[in-house]
Structure 1
Amino acid sequence: MLTLFFAPLVMININLVSSPWLLFILYITSGIGMAGIGMGIMHDAIHGSYSKHQKVNKYLGYTMNLIGANATVWKIQHNVLHHTYTNIVGADDDINAPFFLRFSPHAKKNKLHRFQHLYVWLFYGLSTISWVTAKDFIRLVRYRKMGLLDKKNAFRNEIIKISGWKLLYYSYALILPLLIVPLAPWLIILAFLSMHFVTGLLISIVFQVAHIMPSTEFPLPDEDGVVAGDWSTHQLATTTNFSPNSRIFSWLIGGLNYQVEHHLLPNICHVHYKNISGIVADTAGEYGIPYHTKASFFIAVKDHLGALHMLGKAQ
């Protein structure tokens, strides 16, 4: 995945681009590699599950920074908020959407939401370009206000680090190609955006179909801020697996088709999810707990589309 991401960019930056079509092919190929790094490398590494050695996890976690995002912000957003408060509106950052999207039946509704199942794909595609420009800074400011950056000078230090990493990323992914490739600048910028569109679409669909489904629940805390039930049951009720029998697909997306197992055991490397999924399913059945799974990715996307349509119409 690292080669799939970097090799096309190297070819672009040493001016091996002979036509606009080749430029777009190289950038889009790099976008597929970027998605692979996000799902198959940094995701496990930042969870501390890629390796038994935490230094390995730490340095592989920096692959998140190499693709323009930030490991520290992701760790708070994903490991802390999403995994702790899955599908709880206002707490799970993965369903805290802008006003034109509604990912929870408890979120505020407007007339635009009736059409979100049609236009959501555009915003999924734009998600990573937003991420590598402004979203990390916006989230870091919010996390500081939430008290999630409690070390002395943590906010200032992270702002400096984020800025430095993003400067590095934009340097080799966009600025150097603009200086080196003898094509119109608008073509290079459009090809760069197409890379991010592919990455955003792939990552967003894989992560969102795991939780925004007709069968998943969206619990609310009581007036004291307490969510009923235990954490493990909550993860099973709010998460869906898909395409469990496709080894190739599972490899391509870093085992994220086994989202139930991942949410229950995030400290275990994704290569083991298939082997433990039968145990999890049997145990859930033994105790009468839902174990959501879809036979294929196509069915999962179709049901996700249905959930978005339903959320757009529901009061």
Structure 2
Amino acid sequence: MSLPKFAATRSFHVELKNRINHYFEATGKSTTGSTGLLSKAAILLLGFVVLYVHLVFFTPAPMWALLEAVVLGGTIAAIGFNVMHDGAHGSFSQHKWLNNVAAFTLNVLGGSSYMWNAKHNLVHHMYTNIDGADDDIDIQPWMRMSLEQKRHKLHRFQHLYFWFLYCLLYISWIFVMDYQKYFKRKIGTIAIKKMEVSDHLVFWGFKVLNLALYIGLPIYTLGFVNWLIGFAVVTSFAGLVLSLVFQLAHTVEHTAFPVPHATTNKLEDEWAIHQIKTTANFATESRVISWLVGGLNFQVEHHLFPKISHVHYPALSKIIKQACAEFNVTYNEFPRMRQAVLSHVLFLRQMGRAA
């Protein structure tokens, strides 16, 4: 598909940037992460190493091992939210090398930082919820995430079976989707820029390393059955958490799925308004959830200002809400987690049954 174009006006976006810039000038704060974020990153990374070593080399009792496997899966997701995600956007630190290190953690966890940058930073953040462009809503044929996608009979029950599919996200990401993008050289229908030799070496080098770390070595130390159970628990919980956080931000009731004009291929709104209409915040009253998911429950703020660290999102949300009220732009928010989950279930039910 030819990529759609946004409305030429940028008055709302300019006003938002002016207000956010004024906030940082008035407070004297840096737009990047704080020492608290560095401490959290250290805790999460150390926790990952300790859990992996204990599970693989010290073989805890079965029930304890299962509990640790769940925590390890959650830790993997938390590193992705808090460390890798900010690093990939260049907001983790003022130092470019530290941002690169933070983003590079994805390669250690099994994914590809190169493919993530193309899929997430370049495509999803620009063309959010646009069918055919945004790869995040392309779960076909298993699920239908917009009215423009073909409806199959099984979609009638997708609001019931989505839990199982979400558990498969992490394992399909590292073993299927990265390779599909690599060989097709596309994110959905959008071509990926040519990879340098170093990019190929990093991609394959870490894929081989991951096979050794997460399959070969654990099978050698634990045996096949014990590894299989543990691996299934770790990847399933990580996949479920990752899926829920990203889907609750965009595929709930009231978020928009804009369709470009059939002739001009233009969208109705300017980019900033498009981001607000296609995005929703959730669990904004929970500091615990905000800490665990790296502020990605303030997804509106993240989509508007991805180069600002998530530690500032609660403060920025007040400024953006006020601007939305003045410009008559609907700000989507679910204060509690259960409200967002219910809305996602109802959204899936509607998509599975609507013509």
TM-score normalised by the shorter chain: which range applies? over 0.9
Deviations 1:154-180 (A, max 9, x none): 176544422211221232223212111
Task: Show structure 1 runs of 4+ deviating over 6 A.
Answer: none
Tell me the residue number matched to 1:5.
48
Q: Measure, in 1, the Cα distance between the counterparts of 2:322 and 2:98.
A: 34
What SS class does the counterpart of residue 229 from structure 1 fall into?
coil
Indicate conservation of the 8 Å contact 1:242/1:257, yes or no.
yes
Indicate conservation of the 8 Å contact 1:36/1:253, yes or no.
yes
Tell me the residue number matched to 2:203.
162
Tell me the residue number matched to 1:38.
80
Deviations 1:218-246 (A, max 9, x none): 00112332222100000010000011121
Tell me the residue number matched to 2:314.
274
Percent identity (aligned): 36
Tell me the residue number matched to 1:248.
288
Indicate conservation of the 8 Å contact 1:239/1:292, yes or no.
yes
Deviations 1:16-48 (A, max 9, x none): 114322332222221111000111110110011
Q: Measure, in 2, the Cα distance between the counterparts of 1:156 and 1:138.
A: 19
Kindly state the Cα deviation for residue 56 of structure 1 after the two structures are TM-superposed.
0.7
Q: 1:67 aligns with which of 91, 109, 123?
A: 109
Tell me the residue number matched to 1:283.
323
- The answer to whether the aligner puts 1:19 opposite 2:22 as a matched pair is no
Tell me the residue number matched to 1:149.
193
> Structure 2 vs 1, CA of residues 143 and 290 (structure 1 numbering), >3 Å: closer, same or farther?
farther
Q: 1:102 aligns with which of 137, 141, 144?
A: 144
Q: Measure, in 2, the Cα distance between the counterparts of 1:213 and 1:37.
A: 25
Structure 1 stretches of 5 or more lacking a match?
Answer: none
Kindly state the Cα deviation for residue 192 of structure 1 after the two structures are TM-superposed.
0.7
Deviations 1:204-223 (A, max 9, x none): 00110110011011001123
Indicate conservation of the 8 Å contact 1:13/1:172, yes or no.
no
Q: 2:232 aligns with which of 193, 200, 212?
A: 193
Indicate conservation of the 8 Å contact 1:20/1:187, yes or no.
no
Amino acid across the alignment from 2:92: Y
Amino acid across the alignment from 2:141: F
Tell me the residue number matched to 1:229.
269
Counting matched residue pairs gives: 309
What SS class does the counterpart of residue 48 from structure 1 fall into?
coil
Q: Measure, in 1, the Cα distance between the counterparts of 2:282 and 2:191.
A: 36
Indicate conservation of the 8 Å contact 1:5/1:31, yes or no.
no
Q: Measure, in 2, the Cα distance between the counterparts of 1:244 and 1:137.
A: 36
- The answer to whether the aligner puts 1:304 opposite 2:344 as a matched pair is yes
Tell me the residue number matched to 1:263.
303
Amino acid across the alignment from 1:208: Q
Structure 2 stretches of 5 or more lacking a match?
Answer: 1-43
Indicate conservation of the 8 Å contact 2:133/2:190, yes or no.
no
Indicate conservation of the 8 Å contact 1:9/1:173, yes or no.
no
Q: 1:114 aligns with which of 149, 156, 160?
A: 156
